[in-house]
Each structure stands twice: as structure tokens, then as C-alpha cells.
Amino acid sequence: MAKVSVGLRGWRFDEDEVFTDDGEWAPLDDMPDDSRNRLLRLGLLMDQPCDACYLKHGEEEKRRANPAAIVYGEPGDEVLLCDEHEGDFLYWFREEGGSELAGEEQFRDEFHEWFAAGNRAPDGYGPDEHVEEAPDELPDLPTPEEAQRRLEQSVEFEEKRYDLRAPDGDEEGEEDLDVADLDLDTEYPSG
């Protein structure tokens, strides 16, 4: 079972979980939750700037930021990097304690603070070598709208209505609430 990156390097997927034997996308509802969530998140991350470039150049000059080529971290708390700044991230992660924050909410923020404070990897540090095999043969990532549409089509949504006045949501044993049964004289601490 081969591991592949899709769209951006970093997040790796089991090839047989995300592609069919024909090289097409597997149905989203057949994918494990983690793979599906990462793939859908990638649709939003494509064409975003490198976090380090953005921190370096700021909002006014964000046009100077390189596009992201690599993603590290967990969906929603990921770090996006260009090739130029991957070494800085890897140094922070391996040598400055970043690995201790893997999976934590503050992962991205801590890297941003470290980088914004002027910290960088020593000259010649990283980045890792990446092997790209047939990058043009991979199917295109779905747009966020297309991914959402496919997700809705592939997962059966069952809408249920519950009558909260009935015990256990059972409409047959419907009971009316009596306001006299409520304790409205309870005092709560005020702040």
C-alpha cells in the first residue's frame, strides 16, 4: 500500500483509501473519516500563501508571499509552507520543541510566534528531499463546493424530528409540561 500526498506535500494518504483502481477518487463515504476530512480541507488550502511568507511580508505585501507547497499539522490547525520556509519549520519542529505540540491546538500559533520573533533554521538545515512520481497523473482535487456536493450525495442524511415534550421523544406518550413543576425560585450566583 503506497502513501501519496495530494495537492500539497505533507499530509500522506494510503493510495487505496482515496483512489479507485482506475485512478479516480474513491467515494467520500467509503474513505476513513481522517482521510476524508484532510482531503476536504485540502480543497480550502490550495492556493493559500505560505504562513511564514505572510508573517514576513504582512497583509499589505501578501502578494510577495509564495504559494503554499507543504502542509503540516492537523486539519484546522495546520501550517502552510513554501519550499523556502520548510527548513525553518522542520528546525522548529525537531530542534525547538515543536514536536511536543503535535496535535495540540496551539501548534500553528506557537510556530507563528517563533517565526515572527525572528527565529530561523541555521544555514543549510533541511528541507527534506521529496520524491514526486507522476504528479500530473493524479486526479484534480475537488473544489470545496464539489467536495461538499459529493459528500452530501454519498452520505445518507436522515432527518428526524423529536417532540421534546414527550418522554424519550415518543409522540404517542405525549405529556404537557406543567409550569408548577418547575423550580423558578432557585438563586444563582451573580458575577
> 95 or 124: whose pLDDT is higher?
95
Compute the average pLDDT of residues 170-187.
Answer: 56
pLDDT per position as a tens digit, 13-36: 999 999 888 888 888 888 999 999
Contact 12, 3 (CB under 8 A): yes
d(CA 38, CA 14): 12
* Per-residue cell: 147: 467536495
> 138 or 73: whose pLDDT is higher?
73
Question: Is the model's pLDDT at 132 over the cut of 80?
Answer: no
Query: Is residue 75 classed as helix, strand or coil in its secondary structure?
Result: coil
Compute the average pLDDT of residues 71-79.
Answer: 93
Compute the average pLDDT of residues 62-83.
Answer: 91
